[in-house]
Amino acid sequence: MFPDTGPSTRAYGSTRGFFSCRGRRRRSGSSWIVGMLLAAGFFGMVSAARAKVHWVWSGAVTSETAVVKARVDKGVRQVRLVIQARKGGAESHSPTSGFTIPDAAGIVTFSLESLQPGTQYQYWIEVEGTREMTGGFGTFSAGAFSFKVAFGSCASTGSNHRVFSRIRQANPDLFIHLGDFHYENIAKNDPERFRDAFDKVLSSPRQAELYRSVPVAYIWDDHDYGPNNSDRTSPSRPAALATYQQVVPHYPLTGEPGRAESIQQAFSIGRVLFIMTDGRSFRSPETDPDGPGKTMLGADQVVWFKTRLATAVEEDYALIAWVNSVPWITWENKKAEDGWESYSRERTELADYFKQLGITSRMVVLSGDAHMVAMDDGSYSNYASDRKAGEKAFPVVHSAPLDRYPSTKGGPYSKGTVAGWNLLWLKKEQRFTTMEIQDDGNALTVFFQGFDGSGRPLERMQMVMHCSEHVCEAE
């Protein structure tokens, strides 16, 4: 991994002595103003020279492929990515034909193929023959694979809190962002506003270092998709969908490239399947009456979700991790918490399907939105229509906020919650969680641990799952 130094920079000569007045009489006020304006122009030119690459990040990693995206100055035409295995690998660049042309907004996409499984790579962006910005990622191993994932959600736009350095220093193989990447609450169908929001986040020093060092899987929630509590009626929906596909290094989406109508996606790491659902693009307004016509995911996505789960059974995954951004467990009849309570008909439909497939005992749900860390061992997550008293379902783990004010939603949770409320003063809190998988090819053990913004483990916020022969039990 890379040291906590912020984005890489390049020296363009020394300014030492620029303001030296040795052997000269004191300047007049007007001369001083002129000098300052000249200096501002000089530093402006240096800054412009440095700003050819604004940011870079990676994602969509598998055992053999990855995607790297960057933003460069408009007008730059010669851009390529040079990549090298960290242990003695030969340099190569992508694409093999030479340079990739950025789009009109300066976004350039590098789709990498034929990588080696279980290999750490470093890369750099080369602009007009000059190396500008470095990064790295590791491919996943094929077959049974022990690995670590960090996950969390909800950070103020452009936050530079040290929590992002702590996530990086935890050395995860992947960082799953569960939504609210920014809090711009964009209500206008303006792609440039979304690109500006991504710029603010990806140029923030500690976040930039994290995203250059660790590959990302990112699903949105409300504040980064549209206004607060946004749904399919959001006026900014087209712009949100377009810029996500343009800017984010994502796994394959449904529909034509660049024209997907939602951003659900699935990927596997070893014997664990991750399914990320989009709870915003097709969501019915929360105020609609619950019933057959009301949906969190939309009819098409529900079909996709069920089909992917059925395929997972055939593919014999040891564990299925459902990345569901909002609270699954909710207090009955408490509908104003932005979770599944207002969509209880669809929640029961899905719970019944999980049970029908026989996968309830090998699932875990990862959620954000609520500004807390919370864990449930399955005691309160069973919403099947034929559930019996005391019958457990799957564990649920919430992880937030990365850098926002505390809040609690949903529940109850068997392990309780840690939100960070301060009775003397309401202040921002920082949280993240790791999911560490140990897999020997037969049995699989999953360790969940919540952390505060300093990287200290949160007391009580830990849970262990043991998976063997398609059955997982949480302690």
Does 205 have pLDDT greater than 90?
Answer: yes
CA distance 209 to 169: 11
Do 91 and 224 share a domain, yes or no?
Answer: no
- Write out pLDDT tens, residues 291-307: 999 999 999 999 999 99
User: How many C-beta atoms lie closer than 10 Å to residue 282's C-beta?
Assistant: 20
Predicted local confidence at residue 130, as pLDDT: 87
Same domain, 75 and 157: no
Q: Does residue 95 sit in the same domain as residue 155?
A: no
For residue 427, the domain's CATH number is 3.60.21.70
CA-based nearest residue to 380, from 333, 347, 331, 448? 331
CA distances from 397 to 338, 394, 423, 458 (A): 17, 10, 25, 14
Residues 130 and 214 occupy one common structural domain: no
- Residue 320 shares a structural domain with residue 409: yes
Q: Are residues 120 and 152 in the same domain?
A: no
pLDDT in tens, 224-283: 999 999 999 999 999 999 999 999 999 999 988 889 999 999 999 999 999 999 999 999
Count CA within 13 A, CB hemisphere, residue 189: 7
Q: Are residues 333 and 415 in the same domain?
A: yes
* Residue that terminates a domain, selected from 95, 118, 138: 138
Give the per-residue pLDDT at 95: 63
Dihedrals phi, psi of 304, to nearest 5 degrees = -60, -45
**First-last CA distance in the chain:** 32
Q: Tell me: the pLDDT tens digits for 49-76?
A: 455 999 999 999 999 999 999 999 988 9
What's the pLDDT at 111? 94
Other C-beta atoms closer than 10 Å to the C-beta of 252 total 11
SS3 at position 94:
strand
Q: Is the pLDDT of residue 447 over 70?
A: yes
User: Which range marks the domain in which residue 274 is found?
Assistant: 147-474
Q: End of a domain among 109, 138, 167? A: 138
Whether the per-residue pLDDT at 312 is higher than 50: the answer is: yes
Residue 46 lies in a domain: no
pLDDT for the residue 9? 32
Among 121, 138, 155, the domain boundary falls at 138
Strand order in the sheet with 265-269: 265-269, 272-276, 319-323, 363-367, 396-399, 373-376, 417-418
The pLDDT tens digits for 397-411 are 999 999 999 999 999
Does residue 282 form part of some domain?
Answer: yes
Which residue type, as a one-letter code, is found at position 168?
A: R
Element of type H or E holding 429: none
The pair of three-digit structure tokens given for residue 453, joined into one six-digit string: 């913004």
274 and 216 both lie in a single domain? yes
How many domains does the chain fold into? 2
- 74 & 200 share domain: no
**Same domain, residue pair 292 and 353:** yes
* Average pLDDT along the chain: 88
pLDDT value, residue 384? 98
CATH number, domain of 117, equals 2.60.40.10
Q: Is residue 105 part of a domain?
A: yes
Are residue 276 and residue 346 in the same domain, yes or no? Answer: yes
In-domain check, residue 352: yes
